[in-house]
Amino acid sequence: MKKPHIIFIHGMGEHKKEDFLKEFFTPIDKAAAHFSSLKPLSDQVVAHYIDYNELINKVRDRIKETSVENMDKKFPGIPTVLAKLNALNTQFGTDDSFWFTHVLDVLIYKSMYSDAIQARVGKKLVEAMQKATDAKQDIHIVCHSLGTAVGHDVLHKLYTNSLDDDTGKRLLSAGLNKIRSITMVANVCTLPITAADPYTSVVKPGPDGICEYFMTCRHVLDPFASIVKFDPGARWPNVLGGEFKNVVINGVGRANVHDMEHYFYDPHVYLPFFMNVYSPKFKTTSAELKAAKQAHDAMTVQGNFEALKTQMEDLDITLYWDSDKGEFVYSEDVDTMLEKLSGFLDLIDSIKGQIGTLTDEGDNDE
């Protein structure tokens, strides 16, 4: 039986393989149940999970044992930002601190450790792609959050013959099947952390890209994906041989809209994903689509979230051309970004009671 291969690259924070895959397959299987032409996706694909938590955790442990005064020696390039994070959260350094398990991951990747992370991920990615190629099956890649930046950088280097594994061996894309689809969930590629410009790199669809289909997903209240929005616009004119979808959603079905699970409960996300994986076999009717939408709407609460939307608009950071510097720059510095993010998270915390019931997975029977 034909089984497409899906390669997953996790995002920021702590992850275990079984939990991460559950965050994907639970909503996607429930979504598939709405359509008579589909069976549970978990039974129809081969899943590969790429983990780089170990490398991040080693750096976290070293940071916990290092005073701010000594940061410059052990972690060149990020000590002032670490001090800022420490000031924003008095519990910085505890294992369950948002700043320590999420924001810090981004800083670690931006630092001198990015090459080690890319080498680890690159080796596992090529191994998974080779298995799909040997089995003559389609390759799909799903990246979440920080994993979108990691995945982007690894793929760009792999397909431009500039990626080495953790032993120094050059990794090559020659002989591998062309990637059927790339899905970037909570896409953070436009943050100043990627190794190559995400708009001009080879990680795009079409004749000049490495995949047939490319989908990027952003929730309007997702602080990470919305700080600097991914939108290639006219920069991606050559997509005749592929397809690009820029999906923006606003339904609130979880307290944490950044979660992978929250994204894949939304039909605006799972429908094009089904099309990418099953096309042309995925067929549906207007009645099925209507029922799927109604099921999703029933589990979301829009309520009075105008305050959040206003705060998110203030959080928005733009990229513009500075003629004096002769380069693209961001409209806000890192300190301002962190302060705005902190304010947004405080506001979410203040209204959690309104959406507390949505965090109970037992109530979600979509």
Helix (H, G, I), strand (E, B) or coil at 266: coil
CB atoms within 10 A of CB 241: 11
Select the CATH number that applies to the domain covering 5-303 from these four: 3.90.1720.10, 3.40.50.1820, 2.60.120.10, 1.10.340.30.
Answer: 3.40.50.1820
CA angle, corner 212, sides to 210 and 218, nearest 5? 90
Rounded Cα distance between 27 and 333, Å, is 37
The kind and range of the H/E element at 182 are strand 179-185
Whether residue 241 is predicted with pLDDT greater than 70 in this model: the reply is no
Chain centroid to CA 274: 18
What is the tens place of the pLDDT at every residue in 19-45? 999 999 999 999 999 999 999 999 999
CA angle, corner 357, sides to 356 and 361, nearest 5? 115
Cα distances (angstroms) measured from residue 247 to each of 95, 147, 184, 251: 33, 18, 10, 12
Rounded Cα distance between 136 and 21, Å, is 23
Whether residue 198 is predicted with pLDDT greater than 50 in this model: the reply is yes
pLDDT at 211: 93
CB atoms within 10 A of CB 64: 12
The kind and range of the H/E element at 139 are strand 139-144
Average pLDDT over residues 151-166: 92
Dihedral sign computed on CA atoms, order 140, 211, 224, 145? positive
pTM above the 0.85 mark? no
Name which of 8-12, 105-109, 289-293 the model is least confident about: 105-109
The kind and range of the H/E element at 141 are strand 139-144
Cα distances (angstroms) measured from residue 290 to each of 67, 78, 185, 267, 295: 56, 49, 24, 10, 9
List, in sequence order, every residue forming a beta bridge with 218; answer none if it has no partner.
248
140, 218, 27, 18: CA torsion to nearest 10: 60
What amino acid occupies position 162? S
Rounded Cα distance between 245 and 268, Å, is 10
Average pLDDT over residues 154-160: 94
Q: Do the beta carbons of residue 41 and residue 128 sit within 8 Å?
A: no
What is the tens place of the pLDDT at every residue in 97-114? 555 555 667 667 776 678
The pair of structure tokens assigned to 291 is 């029922």
